[in-house]
Amino acid sequence: MRLYFPRDDILQALKGSTIELMLGIPSEQLRNISSNDPTPSFSWVYKYVNASRNDIRFRYIAVGNEVTMAEWEYVLPAMKNIYRALEAAGLQDQIKVSTAVFSGHISATYPPRNSVFNSQIRPFMREIVAFLLEKQAPLLANVYPFFAYLSNQAQIPSEYVFFTSPTVNEIGYQNLFDAMLDGFYYALEKEGGSSLEIVVSETGWPNAGDSISTTENAQKYYSNLIQHVNSGKGTPKRPGKTIETYLFAMFDENQKGEYEREKHFGLFFPNKLPKYDIKLS
């Protein structure tokens, strides 16, 4: 499960469960967390993590999500401060510290082997990669075939998007998800991170809001995605492994975004009944 910021009611509900948690620090808090004064980072870890260490199964701390250019300078210092706070609590091996990037952070993505982090953020990513390697933590990546297909339906076959293509295409890929994920692996490789793992920290499909956002498409995407990431096939770049993946999102967000589709990514209705007949394992 992923929380983008701590919520006391949800953290309380998770106590005693077997659910593993990725807990986020919002991007707008990075400047404060990254300061030379360790108090904000140590206080955050103590309040939200250390106090519940015996009751909640924390897996990752996501320091920022899809940060903007103005926020990049704070990411690595904040990651280091959070790591030090975890280290002081003896939790540095149990809980990994990372940050979440998205497709807008890379360019030249076709074919995937050409992918590279944008020139403005490469200096930051190079140092982040070194930190992740040193701490044996994965990079978090938000991977959305939905948005790629939405912007280029004329050129992208639907079966390539929904994991139903019978054969690989001219660049050796059978689905768009793998191509996008491998783009991140190739970009990491160019920054010295060829051995880094990636956790897919978001992927999803809305069921309303535009012509491709339908219940049928959402169910098809989620069902086939789950089957694919659990299959152990991996990707052409990283074959033979399951792909740790977080589905976005649990519930709709009726106040989110300027586009109607942004409100309809939920897997469940507000009454907790599932929108789709899908198996999550």
> Last residue of some domain: 94, 109, 139?
94
Q: Return the pLDDT at 257.
A: 80
Q: Where are the alpha helices (DSSP H) in 29-165?
A: 30-33, 39-48, 72-88, 122-135, 145-151, 158-161
> Last residue of some domain: 94, 118, 152?
94
Same domain, 133 and 181: yes
Active-site pick, 170, 202, 244, 262: 202
Same domain, 11 and 124: no
- Among residues 46, 39, 56, the alpha carbon closest in space to that of 89 is found at 46
Q: How far apart are CA 58 and CA 18, in angstroms?
A: 10
Query: Mind listing the pLDDT tens digit for each residue in 194-250?
Result: 999 999 999 999 999 999 999 999 999 999 999 999 999 999 999 999 999 999 999
134: annotated active-site residue: no
* pTM score of the predicted model: 0.98
Q: Return the pLDDT at 184.
A: 99
Task: Name the DSSP letter for residue 268.
Answer: B
Domains: count for the chain: 2
20: annotated active-site residue: no
Percent helix, strand, coil in the chain, to 5, is 40, 15, 45
Which CATH number belongs to the domain containing residue 234 in this structure? 3.20.20.80
Q: Return the pLDDT at 281.
A: 74
Cα torsion 263, 267, 272, 273 to 10°: value is 120
Q: Return the pLDDT at 6.
A: 98
Same domain, 158 and 27: no
Mean pLDDT (whole number) for 54-74: 98
pLDDT at 74 over 80: yes
Range of the domain at 58: 1-94
Same domain, 22 and 88: yes
Same domain, 46 and 118: no
Same domain, 66 and 183: no
Query: Mind listing the pLDDT tens digit for each residue in 85-138?
Result: 999 999 999 999 999 999 999 999 999 999 999 999 999 999 999 999 999 999
Q: Return the pLDDT at 75.
A: 99
Active-site pick, 20, 66, 189, 258: 66
Q: Is the peptide bond before 249 cis (omega within 30 degrees of 0)?
A: yes
